[in-house]
Amino acid sequence: MNTLQTQAVILIILIPLMSSYAIPLFGWRWKGSAFFIALTAIGASLVCSLILLATVLTKGTIHYHLGGWLPPWGIEYVIDPLNGFVAVVVCIISFLVTISSKESVEKELPEKKVRFYTIYLLLFTGLMGIVVTGDVFNLYVFLEIASLAAYALIAIGEDGAPLASFNYIIMGTIGACFYLLGVGYLYIVTGSLNMADLAKLLPPLYDSKVVLIALAFFLIGTAIKMGLFPLHVWLPDAYTYAPSAVSSFIAPLMTKVMAYILIRILFTVFKPSYVIEVVPVASILSWIAAVAIIAGSILALAQRDLKRMLAYSSVSQIGYIVLGIGLANKMGLIGAYLHILNHAFMKGCLFSVAGALMYRTGRRNIFQLHTIHRKMPFTMGALVIGALSMIGIPPTAGFFSKWYLILGSIEAQNWVFVAVILASSLLNALYFFRVIENVYFEVSQGGLKEEPVGDPVREVPLSMLTPIILLAAGILLLGLYNERIISGILVLALPRGF
């Protein structure tokens, strides 16, 4: 491996971290530079992540020892196909969403730009750190970095944003503390904090109560952070009231990275056999996920606010991923991994569309969007593609995640799950087509026909439109090419034995 390949592991975190310090320095003098530094840093990380993924697929798992200390005494960064894949997903979505953030930040938070991008980059750094690290405590550190940045970013929205952020702080801290407790318990019995080392040290201890409690703490902690029903209560408010650029960034990414943490804990630190046979955690998770899927969809039906509807929809979609993890068979896991990718693109696209609507019309109420497609045809076209993908119409990406999850459920002979997945498609169709109807057709709802205020409603500027179109195109392409992704990357990312 040449130097760039070896160093890419650390660069992927170092560049955004250093840039986030550079932004206040440069931004003090040149306010406009904040955006460009942020974009460049994320772009550099994107390049690194692509290099890493390519290297992992050809040369095998990459190990990077921080400071030259050998594991398990030192902190180790490990890239295997799974986190290489997740890293690329996070970087691509971050990059596209950041491009579209320029205009919306200008409009919503003009005098806070510099501080915004500083924290924004820290959030990105935190997420990348979670993905690349191979040490459980290091993961906690990055988890908290990301969470703190998220708390701050959410709080600068309008309406009930500070309260939403405060609730998120309380619940998120509980989640992170539970995670920390889990780490503590594992440390007591093994003396190690390195994931690979733990995987070696734990099997003889599998019948110990301490290990079981550690797993329970991990699960609850990540469940809170992921927004798995019924620990999702912080999510709708946080996503709804955050500024557009923030919700477009957090919604597709944060919960996915937390799901990645769950996969790591369940299948790397603890062996799959523990999770499936010794303690039936996987099946408990899958049942909770099934409830989450239905509950999220039903709650989404009741919403009039577009972003709130999308937030509850996210709760439902996290259920899909956890269902795939809980099924713990090959098709289920492939479905879960693929859905991490697909949902990131879908929600990235949909929240960006919501952001575009906010930018041009200042509105979020579904029933006030009359025939807006005439003024914003491309944005609404992207909305349709995103909606079709969420419902699960081939050849969009969303269909294929559901396809694999259904195959996995059938393989596990669990017909309830099949019914749940199919029913949720119909529920999704209900609330997404309601939006499409309002956007494309003149649905007279008595008295709500005011003209939009402010600027005449036109299509959003190119810097916002391009990422939206790219994300929508991505949804289509990911659907069509999903087999390449699976056979090229995901099959390698499965835990051993699947």
Partner 1 sequence: MKPEEKMVDYLISKYNYWVYIFLMMLGFYAMMGKRNLVKKLIGMNIFQTAIILYYISIGVKKGGTLPIFMEGAPRAADYINPLPHVLMLTAIVVSVSTTGVALAVLLMIYRRYKTLEENEILKSIR
Partner 2 sequence: MDIVYSIRPLLAILVSLGAAALILASGRRPNLREAWTLLAAVAKFLIVLSMAPSILNGQVLEYTVLPLSPGISLQLRVDPFGLYFGLLASGLWIATSFYSIGYMRGLNEHAQTRYYFCFAVALSSTIGVAFAANLLTLFLFYELLTISTYPLVAHKETPEALAAGRKYLTYLLTSAVFILFSIAYTYQLAGSLDFVAGGFLKGQGSPETLRLLFVAFILGFGTKAALMPIHEWLPTAMIAPTPVSALLHAVAVVKAGVFSCLRVIDYVFGPSLLSDLDLWLVLGYFVSITIIGASLLALAQDNLKRRLAFSTISQLSYIVLGAALITPSALMGSVLHMAFHGFMKITLFFCAGAIFVKTGKENISQMNGIGRRMPLTMAAFAVGAFGMAGIPPVCGFLSKWYLCLGSMEAREAVFVLILLTSSLLNVAYFFPVVYNAFFKKEAGEGPPVREEASWWMLAPILICALMSLILGLNPDAFIHFHQIAGMVAASIRGF
Residues 38, 51, 89, 155: which binds partner 1 (CB under 8 A)?
A: 155
Q: Which residues, listed in sequence order, are joined to residue 305 by a DSSP beta bridge?
A: 365
State the DSSP H helix or E strand holding residue 118, giving kind and residue range, or none if neither. helix 113-132
478/472 Cα distance (integer angstroms): 10
66 binds partner 1 (CB under 8 A): no
Give the three-class secondary structure for 210. Answer: helix
- The piece of 156-164, 202-210, 406-414, 463-471 that touches partner 2 (CB under 8 A) is 406-414
- Regarding 144 and contact with partner 1 (CB under 8 A), the answer is yes
Taking residues 451 to 490 in sequence order and writing x for each that binds partner 2 by CB under 8 A, - otherwise, the string is -----------------------------xxxxx-xx---
Alpha carbons 17 and 15: distance in angstroms, whole number:
5
- Residue 492 engages partner 2 in binding (rule: CB under 8 A): no
- According to DSSP, residue 1 is labeled -
Helix (H), strand (E) at residue 451: none
What's the Cα-to-Cα distance from 112 to each of 16, 107, 116, 119, rounded to whole Å?
A: 19, 11, 6, 11
Does residue 406 touch partner 2 according to CB under 8 A?
yes
- Residue 441's CB: how many other CB atoms inside 10 A? 11
323-382: contacts with partner 1 (CB under 8 A):
none
The reply on whether position 411 binds partner 2 by CB under 8 A is: yes
Bridge partners, residue 64, by sequence: 77
In whole angstroms, what separates CA 44 from the centre of its chain? 20
Cβ closest to partner 1, residue 142 vs residue 432: 142
Nearer to partner 1, 210 or 448 (CB): 210
Closest C-alpha among 494, 326, 338, 337 to residue 416: 326
Q: Report the residue number, 290 or 429, with the smaller CB distance to partner 2.
A: 429
Q: Determine contact, residues 146/126, Cβ cutoff 8 Å.
A: yes
* One-letter identity of residue 470: L
Choose among partner 1, partner 2, none what residue 181 binds, the Cβ cut-off being 5 to 8 Å by kind: partner 1
How far is CA 149 from each of CA 105, 115, 165, 493, rounded to the nearest angstrom? 16, 11, 11, 29
Provide CB contacts within 8 A for 494, sequence distance 6+.
Answer: 330, 333, 334
Residue 137 vs 378, nearer CB to partner 1: 137
Scanning 177-185, 368-376, 384-392, 400-408 for contacts with partner 1 by CB under 8 A, the matching segment is 177-185
- What is residue 408's three-state secondary structure? helix
Tell me the window of 161-169, 185-193, 241-249, 439-447 that interacts with partner 2 (CB under 8 A). Answer: 439-447
Which tokens go with 359?
Answer: 């930018």
Residue 277 interacting partner from partner 1, partner 2, none (CB closer than 5 to 8 Å by kind): none
- Residue 418 sits in the site that holds partner 2 (CB under 8 A): yes
Which element (helix H / strand E) includes 78? Answer: strand 76-79
Query: Measured between alpha carbons, how far is residue 447 from residues 330, 357, 450 in Å?
Result: 53, 21, 8
Q: Is the dihedral of CA 242, 245, 250, 251 positive or negative?
A: positive
The rounded distance, in Å, linking the Cα atoms of 270 and 201 is 10
Residue from 165, 247, 368, 425 touching partner 1 (CB under 8 A): that is 165
Helices 462-480, 397-411: crossing angle, 10 deg rounding? 40
302 interacts with partner 1 by CB under 8 A: no
Is 314:437 a contact under the CB 8 Å cutoff? no
443 is an interface residue for partner 2 by CB under 8 A: yes
# residues contacting partner 1 (CB under 8 A): 25
Angle between helices 136-155 and 161-190 (to 10 degrees): 170
Q: Is 498 in the site for partner 2 (CB under 8 A)?
A: no
Task: Determine if 425 is a binding residue for partner 2 (CB under 8 A).
Answer: yes
Q: Which of 36, 166, 206, 440 binds partner 1 (CB under 8 A)?
A: 166
CB atoms within 10 A of CB 65: 15
Residues numbered 87-116 forming contacts with partner 2, rule: CB under 8 A: none
Provide the mask over 368-397, with x wherever binding to partner 2 is found by CB under 8 A and - wherever it is not. --------------------x--x-xxx--
Task: Find which of partner 1, partner 2, none residue 406 binds, CB within 5 to 8 Å per kind.
Answer: partner 2
Give 121 or 340: the residue with its C-beta nearer to partner 2.
340
Output the smallest distance, CB 491 to partner 2, in A: 8
Q: Token pair of 194, please?
A: 């390195």
Q: Which does 170 bind (CB under 5 to 8 A by kind): partner 1, partner 2, none?
A: partner 1
Name which of residues 216 to 275 contact partner 1 (CB under 8 A).
none
Alpha helix ranges (H) inside 264-329: 272-273, 281-301, 306-327
Residue 187 interacting entry, from partner 1, partner 2, none, C-beta within 5 to 8 Å by type: partner 1
Euclidean distance between CA atoms 225 and 172, whole angstroms: 6
If contact means CB under 5 to 8 A according to the sort of partner, which of partner 1, partner 2, none does residue 148 touch?
Answer: partner 1
Out of 57, 141, 473, 477, the only residue in the binding site for partner 1 (CB under 8 A) is 141
Shortest Cβ 370–partner 2 spacing (Å): 11
- Pick one of partner 2, partner 1, none as the site partner of residue 188 (Cβ within 5 to 8 A by kind): partner 1
User: Which positions lie near partner 1, rule CB under 8 A?
Assistant: 137, 140-141, 144, 148, 151-152, 155, 159-160, 162-163, 165-166, 169-170, 173-174, 176-177, 180-181, 184, 187-188
User: Which positions lie near partner 2, rule CB under 8 A?
Assistant: 388, 391, 393-395, 400, 402-404, 406-407, 410-411, 418, 422-423, 425-426, 429, 433, 437, 440-444, 480-484, 486-487
